[in-house]
Amino acid sequence: MPILRIDLGSPTPVYRQIVDSLRALLVNGAFAPGARLPTVREVAIDLGVNHNTVAEAYRLLAEEGWLDLKRYHGATVLQRPPQQAEPARQEDFVQRLRELAARAIADGVDKEEVAQLLGALAEDLKQSKKEIL
Amino acid sequence: MNWKILQTVLTPLLLPLMLIIPAFVLLTARRTRPDIFFGFTVEPSLRQAAAGRAILRQFSQLVIVFSLIGLALILLGAFAGLAPGLAVALILGGATVGFGGMIPAYAAARRRVRPHRVEPSREREVMVRPRPTRPVGGWLGQSGPFLILGLVALCLWLRWDGIPERFPIHWDLQGQPNGWAVKSWRSVFGSVLLGSLCCFFFSILFLSFSRGVRRVHSSGVEGERESRFVRTMLVLVLTLEYCIAGMFAGFSPVVPPRLGGIFVAATLLVGLVVAVMAFRSGQGGWRLRGHTSASTPTNTAPVGDRTPDDCWKWGLLYFNPADPALWVEKRFGIGWTFNFGNPRAWFVLGAILIFAAAVPVLSILLFK
């Protein structure tokens, strides 16, 4: 079962953590198109955060085309049309990945280990059951 | 004031309570989540450590001592042949010492646990799956108690002419009727109406629990245990609802009184089973066996019950306006309690109090 985890002690805003965590699940094909997600109220109660925080996260994912939000019917996962990333977007991704790796190395993670982790991530993405959209 | 009557009423009421409540309190202290101890979040190992055992031992000793003093005073007041006024004073004094003594015992235990409190994990998890809309037992199972009462109401209506002008509505312990009502629409359908009211109240509580309680663990063996705990509690509440429906149906003049007695006994038995199973499971089901081998310890800090310590008053009352939950796990007890910081909690509490007052008032109005 897909689990959404957040850390209330993290400097990253809670709504952003929810968006990132849910997006990761959606990208990995954890939900079939048409699947229903728990309501804003259910997620807010279990996480112990304000309803508006969860509603904002759902709204952002709906804007990205992942979810269909209907009043009183919760959120439904959509079949997202293939996206064509602009070159600037890809450059931004590479830049952020480099920064993240540099940060990990600066924090003391071994270079080899970072390379292995990135390799494992690449394998995971390749073997993902669902096509990455 | 008739002291003799008061003495006769108080003795059988307080004597068993003086045995049951201390036992309940002693057991409760041992059945909270391993990382919650007297209302504080602590390391799970504390309970088994020398310091934890000493705290629990001192708490138990104090509760037992106060209860024994209370029990002795009640027995003295009840059976020593004293003047009725003095006897009642001793019985009430005994109850005050016995029940009131638990407060300093609890406060002393909390004082000793406070230095051991730790910051709970701030990680939260939720299973990304909608909660089932179908309640435990299904909608048919939920409507069963109302169907039973509806059937009885139909029988009453069809057999109206056969109902005697005066019929029993109360029986003593030997099963002999000792209260009677005169035939009227109110008295004949009164028990069905009261039964429906009680079942409606329990249904609301059932749905509120099944939809509104926070899941502390969603994954791993803890999540599995918690699911079983919640489900077991809900099944027992539903069973209790059936017994209550049967009990009120049994009070109606078309049902043999013996059947009503059986349902009264069944209701008491189910209540006892609920208590035994709840204590056996431990808070949140932590004492249950788990079948899932993989647990998901994502941090090293104790998880507790996913509520901040600072929002608890004496470890008993939870007040957190920032928390949207209506129900949260009790920190000293089994089951759930209100989040008094949620305005809806006050609304539900008001409804419970109105219900508690309405049942005896309606009984008087319907059967007078």
The domain locations on chain A are: 14-77, 87-127
> Which residue of chain A is at minimal alpha-carbon distance from B224?
A1
> What's the rounded Cα separation, in Å, for the pair A119 and A124?
9
Looking at the fold, whether B151 and B110 belong to one and the same domain comes out as no
Other CB atoms within a 10 A radius of the CB of residue B368 amount to 9
Is the model more confident about B76 or about A125?
Answer: B76
With contacts defined as CB-CB under 8 Å, which chain B residues touch A37? 128, 130
Which of B175, B193, B197 has the alpha carbon at shortest distance from B252?
A: B193
- Fold of the CATH domain A14-77: Arc Repressor Mutant, subunit A (1.10.10)
Looking at the fold, whether B143 and B108 belong to one and the same domain comes out as no
> Which region, left, alpha or beta, applies to residue B254 given φ > 0 means left and ψ of -120 to 50 means alpha?
alpha
Q: Where are the alpha helices (DSSP H) in B251-321?
A: 257-281
Looking at the fold, whether B174 and B230 belong to one and the same domain comes out as yes
pLDDT at B173: 67
Residue B197 forms part of a structural domain: yes
Looking at the fold, whether B98 and B184 belong to one and the same domain comes out as no
Is the distance from CB of A62 to CB of A40 less than 8 angstroms?
no
Residue B363 forms part of a structural domain: no
> What's the rounded Cα separation, in Å, for the pair B337 and B352?
13
Interchain contact A106–B (C-beta under 8 A) = no
C-beta pairs of B241-244 under 8 Å, 24+ apart in sequence: B241/B145, B241/B199, B241/B202, B241/B203, B241/B206, B242/B144, B242/B145, B242/B148, B243/B267, B243/B270, B244/B145, B244/B195, B244/B198, B244/B199, B244/B202
Quote the domain boundaries for residue B205.
138-293
pLDDT at B72: 93
Specify the pTM: 0.81
Residue B304 forms part of a structural domain: no
Checking if the pLDDT of A73 tops 80, the result is no
Which of B250, B261, B234, B24 has the alpha carbon at shortest distance from B132?
A: B234
| Residue at which a domain ends, from B293, B326, B351 | B293
| Residue at which a domain ends, from B293, B322, B337 | B293
With contacts defined as CB-CB under 8 Å, which chain A residues touch B345? none
Looking at the fold, whether B102 and B143 belong to one and the same domain comes out as no
Is the distance from CB of B6 to CB of B87 less than 8 angstroms?
no
> Which residue of chain A is at minimal alpha-carbon distance from B297?
A5
Q: Tell me if B129 and A2 make a contact (CB, 8 A cut-off).
A: yes
Q: How confident is the model at residue A44 (pLDDT cuts 50, 70, 90)?
A: very high
Looking at the fold, whether B66 and B142 belong to one and the same domain comes out as no
**Residue segments in chain B with a per-residue pLDDT below the cut of 70:** 1, 173, 257, 290-300, 368
Residue B357 forms part of a structural domain: no
Interchain contact B298–A (C-beta under 8 A) = yes
Interchain contact B239–A (C-beta under 8 A) = no
| Residue at which a domain ends, from B116, B147, B162 | B116
pLDDT at B50: 94
Calculate what percentage of chain A has a pLDDT beyond 70.
95
pLDDT at A129: 54
> What's the rounded Cα separation, in Å, for the pair A64 and A123?
25
Residue B237 forms part of a structural domain: yes
Looking at the fold, whether B220 and B176 belong to one and the same domain comes out as yes
In this structure, chain B runs to a length of 368
State the DSSP H helix or E strand holding residue A121, giving kind and residue range, or none if neither: helix A111-127
Task: State how many domains chain B has.
Answer: 2
Looking at the fold, whether B142 and B282 belong to one and the same domain comes out as yes
Looking at the fold, whether B282 and B147 belong to one and the same domain comes out as yes
Is the distance from CB of A21 to CB of A6 less than 8 angstroms?
yes
- Answer positive or negative: Cα dihedral of A99, A101, A105, A109: positive
Looking at the fold, whether B281 and B142 belong to one and the same domain comes out as yes
Sequence-separated (6 or more) residues with CB below 8 Å from residue B122: A7, A8, A9, B301
pLDDT at B104: 94
Sequence-separated (6 or more) residues with CB below 8 Å from residue B39: B110, B113, B309, B312, B314, B315, B316, B331, B332
Looking at the fold, whether B143 and B272 belong to one and the same domain comes out as yes
Instruction: Tell me the shortest Cα–Cα distance from B132 to chain A, in angstroms.
Output: 10
Angle between helices A87-106 and A111-127 (to 10 degrees): 140
Other CB atoms within a 10 A radius of the CB of residue B6 amount to 16
- What six digits make up the tokens of B135? 């309640």
> What's the rounded Cα separation, in Å, for the pair B317 and B323?
14
Checking if the pLDDT of A59 tops 90, the result is yes
> Which residue of chain B is at minimal alpha-carbon distance from A22?
B128
